[in-house]
Chain A
Amino acid sequence: MYKIDCDVCVVGGGPAGLAAAISAKQNGAENVLIVERDEALGGILQQCIHPGFGLKLFNEELTGPEYYGRFVIVAKELGVKTLLNSMVLEVGEESVICINSEHGVCEISAKSIILAMGCRERTRANIMIPGTRPAGVYTAGTAQRLINRQNEMVGKKVVILGSGDIGMIMARRMTLEGAKVEAVVEIMDYLAGLTRNRVQCLDDFGIPLLLSHTVVNIKGNDRVESVVIAEVDENKKPIMSTAREIECDTLLLSVGLIPENELTGKANIEISPVTKGPKVNQYMQTSIKSIFACGNVVHVNDLVDNVSAESKKAGAAAALYAQKKLKSKAAITVETGENVRYVCPQTVIPADEKVDLYFRVMKPQKNVIITVTDGDNTLLTRKAIKVNPGEMEKATVSVKDISSLKVSVKEA
């Protein structure tokens, strides 16, 4: 077997892995290696040719390739090493095993490891759409890859299920390529993705958005011939009397993302049942001290800018760990209060520093007060005009001498 030694090994060369590797290097790790399964760095951003990235981080509107391109340049300048076309098969406390065509099975030993594998899309089967199983049912991301990286058009008459960001972006992309997008269908009574995407991708192109609707049947034995959609009641059950058939050759699904944690699970790292990603502290450290995680593998983000910020922390902490400079102290569990589905990080080690608490609400709410408390002591209150499960919120608090931490969202 081919052996490689490094200080910090980063699994995944997408936006999370790139930002983490750069930060590890900047924080004193000498030998930083990114292992990436694709033929190039950039991850899913390689196929995100639309603009909208970097507004927070660079104050500019960049395309996906422009955004990660900036990180690739810095990583190269700093001397981050990469192993491309390499699939990681196993992660241990201080080892990573991957295979590639050039070297065969590679055994990488590392002082710390950063997991940055990203996420995958939920499928038709996950949401159990009944009907036939013809060609022409794609997840939105798969269609995006075919169109933007392989130059292959997936269909001409399209229905999109799910108003996630990728779904809306693909509605626009398909329209620009001459396809007719019949409708974007969303089971919830609110938008799953960002409002700006609804405006720029649907409204501007006259694509109808049908809230409280779902696909109840797929027809066609060979290729999709039509889908049947229906309105749903308050329990999300289809009202069959409202069913109508839409002729189409393609059904795209944008029905959610799941952190890709096969390796994490196999490494026996503790996984949150809510985020489906590893539980981490504010240093993005997992339940195995030498292993850190960042980006969508931890929890699904809606903005890459947040991923980069979070990954920077993971990289810095992993570098300190590799230099034996990261102190390990008892952590407290962050509690989820009213209308809070999850908070990431799940645990916080009290320290003289400020911590960004990223969280998502359970249901949409208007005119709210966000509070972070330590018992009776309020650490932060902030008003918000509206909160939405599709848009991640952030609360930054000082965690010096805290003994508990709870995030709540209440009506003002």
Chain B
Amino acid sequence: MKADVLVIGAGAVGTAITRELTKYRLNVICVDKREDVGGDCSKSNSAIIHTGYDAKPGSLESELVVAANPQYDKLTADLDIPFKRIGAILPAITDEQFAQLPEIKEKALKNRVYDVQYLSKEQILAIEPNINPEVKGGLFIPRESIIDPFIYVVAMAENAVANGAKFMLNTEVTGIRKDGDRVIGAETTNGYIEADYIVNAAGLFCDEIANMVGKFDYTVVPRKGQFYILDKNTGCKVNHIVLPIPTKITKGKLMTPTIDGNMLVGPTAEDLPDKYDKSTTTEGLDSIRADVQKLIPGVMLQDTITQFSGLRPNRNPEGLNIDVYDDVKHYVNLSGVRSTGLTNSISVGAYVANLLREIGLKMEFKDDFIEKRKGIVCIRELSREEQHKKILENPLYGNIVCRCESVTEGEIVDAIHSPIPATTVDAIKRRLRAGMGRCQGGFCGPKVIEILARELKVDPKEIRKNNSKSYMVCGKVK
């Protein structure tokens, strides 16, 4: 196998880089050790497209996030990605917090986020009645937005595939070959891939890849964030992203609607040694309760339908870094792409492409780049007439498998046979929401296993929740 550019990691960042490179006449391969794109950090985060108002002014992170935000209107329209500009509110609950507002606004200006507005107590309570009535006033950041993070990564990857990129999943990089001071290819669990250029976008595992090329200048320090997801019918909701005023120690815990109308509450921020520890803890979940109640006193965490945790790929020393080296040529290393990674992925793509050009990659524009991608039809969102028409076209759209989220067999079959095939229970869930509702897969789980086995022509015991050891059933009954 041979590629002009090999991208390691198929998260939000890796897929965005891959897609960007398909705008040029290049042969691009993206590998990931997981079974699906977006299988790690990109799937478990707050699903917010940030403005960068609170970034460190002058930093690369600030530059990339601020440049990314305005791109999402067109991008999400082109690629059929659910996205809403709902705006964020930072309510000052205490006098001390109120005194911090001018400073926060000034920092936003330094980050070239000029549309931050002051809101009075009355204005805040009028648009967000569930905020603590003690609120003194606050800031409104209109372009803070919410997105479907799963569909974002899938859409970017599918569009890259439509433009000629190749994705190799379940493919772990085990070594990088060099010829003198330049990289020439990667050993993987799926064979050797010869590559003229290599981009390390391995997120949580980027330090391990860096070690393979002989770089030991940083380590990844996963920062765990635990969240609650609340039922769509919970009695206490918010209409905007409600963010706490940050303290010196933490950005704090927020409450926001998700793109599908659930409430997302969290996250914690816990530095950990273990890159695989995605457990939730009673202490963590209790701390969310305590903090969020200060903002939204009526929050009903008992309406939770799930709790999860994600790991932000922080690094030590801190900071988002995109590096090229004199002593490791034809290689780009990304590290510290943390909370803002989902947002800035789109600018990182362009930034990395340009960096590759600077270090010698020959890049010719393509005339036939396909800009648009259409997702799987979402039956629940169609009008009754449209649903009727669709079912007559394909009867499988008339068979609802997931009751809570009204997902049909037709959509599941479409996902299994899509350009980035959904081959696991979680992959189906992320693309379609089957199993993401209040029964958490209790009803649809067994049917999804059956449909996956049928479409993939394997025995149900081969079906996985996500990675290779996560079997769902262990064989037939006696």
Is B469's CB under 8 angstroms from A222's CB? Answer: yes
Tell me whether A135 and B470 are in contact in the complex, defined as CB-CB below 8 angstroms, given that A85-B399, A142-B442, A177-B477 are known contacts. yes
- CB <8 Å contact, B475 and A153: yes
Spot the interface stretch: A118-126, A339-347, A391-399. Answer: A118-126
Cα of A142 to Cα of B475 in the assembled complex, Å: 16
Which residue of the partner chain, among B396, B446, B467, contacts A150 with CB atoms under 8 Å? B446
B438 — which chain A residues lie within 8 A by C-beta?
A: 120, 123
By a CB distance below 8 angstroms, the chain B residues around A146 are 446, 449, 473
Q: B247 on the interface (CB 8 Å rule)? A: no
CB atoms of A130 and B403 under 8 A apart: no
Q: Report how far A5 CA is from B4 CA in the complex, Å.
A: 64
Closest chain B residue to A240, Cβ basis: B282
B304, B440, B446: the one within 8 Å of A145 (CB) = B446
* Shortest distance from the beta carbon of B171 to any chain A beta carbon, whole Å: 18
Of B7-15, B95-103, B339-347, B383-391, the segment with at least 4 beta carbons within 8 Å of chain A is B383-391
A186 to B327, CA, bound (A): 62
Q: Is the CB of A99 within 8 A of B385?
A: no
CB < 8 Å neighbour of A222 from B304, B441, B470: B470
The interface stretch among B105-113, B141-149, B209-217, B458-466 is: B458-466
Q: Is B279's CB within 8 Å of the partner chain A? A: yes
The residues of B that contact A177 with a CB separation of less than 8 Å are 477-478
Q: Which of A135-160 contact B (CB under 8 A)?
A: 135, 138-139, 141-142, 145-147, 149-156
CB pair A123–B442 under 8 Å, yes or no, is: yes
State the CA gap A125–B391 with chains docked (Å).
Answer: 34
Kindly state the separation between the CA atoms of A100 and B398 in the bound complex, as whole angstroms.
4
In the complex formed, the residue of A with least CB distance to B461 is: A152
Among the 9-residue stretches A71-79, A101-109, A289-297, A378-386, the one with 4 or more Cβ atoms under 8 Å from chain B is A101-109
How far, in angstroms, from A103 to B446 measured CA to CA in the complex? Answer: 25
Stretch at the interface among B50-58, B61-69, B236-244, B305-313: B305-313
> Smallest CB–CB gap between A266 and chain B, Å?
10
Q: A123-B440, A128-B285, A153-B476 are in contact. Are A101 and B396 (CB under 8 A)?
A: yes
Looking at the assembled complex, report how far the CB atom of A249 sits from the nearest CB atom of chain B, in whole angstroms.
8
Residues B470 and A141 in contact, CB atoms below 8 Å apart = no
Q: Which of B276, B384, B473 contacts A1 (CB 8 A)?
A: B384
Within 8 A of A (CB), among B421-478: 425, 438-443, 445-446, 449-450, 460-461, 464-478
Q: Is A22 an interface residue (CB 8 A)?
A: no
Contacts of A145 in B (CB 8 A): 446
CB-CB contacts below 8 Å: B275-294 with A: 276-282, 284-285
Q: Provided the pairs A1-B384, A123-B440 are in contact, do residues A151 and B395 lie with their beta carbons within 8 angstroms?
A: no
Give the residue of A101, A132, A139 whose beta carbon is less than 8 angstroms from that of B279. Answer: A132
Contact A99 B446, beta carbon cutoff 8 Å: no
> How far does the alpha carbon of A105 sit from the alpha carbon of B386 in the complex, in Å?
9
Docked complex Cα distance between A369 and B306 (Å):
42
Contact check, A134 vs B391: say whether CB atoms are below 8 A apart: no
CB contacts (< 8 Å) of B276 on chain A: these are 221
Is A28 in the interface zone, CB < 8 Å from B? no
A152 touches B399 (CB 8 A): no
Q: Give chain B nearest CB distance to A170 CB in angstroms.
A: 13
What chain A residues lie within 8 Å of B26 (beta carbons)?
none
Asked if A55 is an interface residue, CB under 8 A from chain B, the answer is: no
* A residues near B473, Cβ cutoff 8 Å: 146, 152-154
With A150-B460, A222-B470 already in contact, the answer to whether A130 and B478 are too (CB < 8 A) is no
Q: Which residues of A contact B445 (CB under 8 A)?
A: 138, 142
Q: Which residues of A lie under 8 Å from residue B441 when comparing CB positions?
A: 142
A264 to B205, CA, bound (A): 48
Question: B residues within 8 A CB of A363?
Answer: none
Verify if B119 is at the interface (C-beta below 8 Å from A). no
Can you list 27 A-B pairs, Cβ within 8 angstroms, ordered by A? A37-B403, A87-B400, A87-B406, A100-B398, A101-B398, A120-B443, A123-B438, A125-B304, A126-B305, A128-B304, A128-B307, A130-B284, A131-B279, A132-B278, A135-B465, A135-B466, A142-B441, A142-B442, A146-B446, A150-B446, A153-B477, A154-B473, A221-B276, A223-B469, A223-B470, A249-B474, A262-B404
What 7 A-B pairs are tightest by C-beta distance, nearest first? A222-B469, A101-B395, A101-B398, A135-B465, A152-B473, A87-B400, A104-B388
Chain A interfacial positions (CB closer than 8 Å to B): 1-2, 37, 85, 87, 89, 97, 99-105, 120-121, 123-126, 128, 130-135, 138-139, 141-142, 145-147, 149-156, 177-178, 216-219, 221-223, 249, 262, 265
A150-B460, A217-B279 given; 18 more Cβ-contact pairs under 8 Å: A1-B384, A85-B399, A120-B438, A123-B305, A125-B440, A126-B304, A130-B280, A135-B465, A135-B470, A139-B442, A142-B441, A142-B445, A152-B446, A152-B449, A153-B474, A155-B474, A222-B470, A265-B233
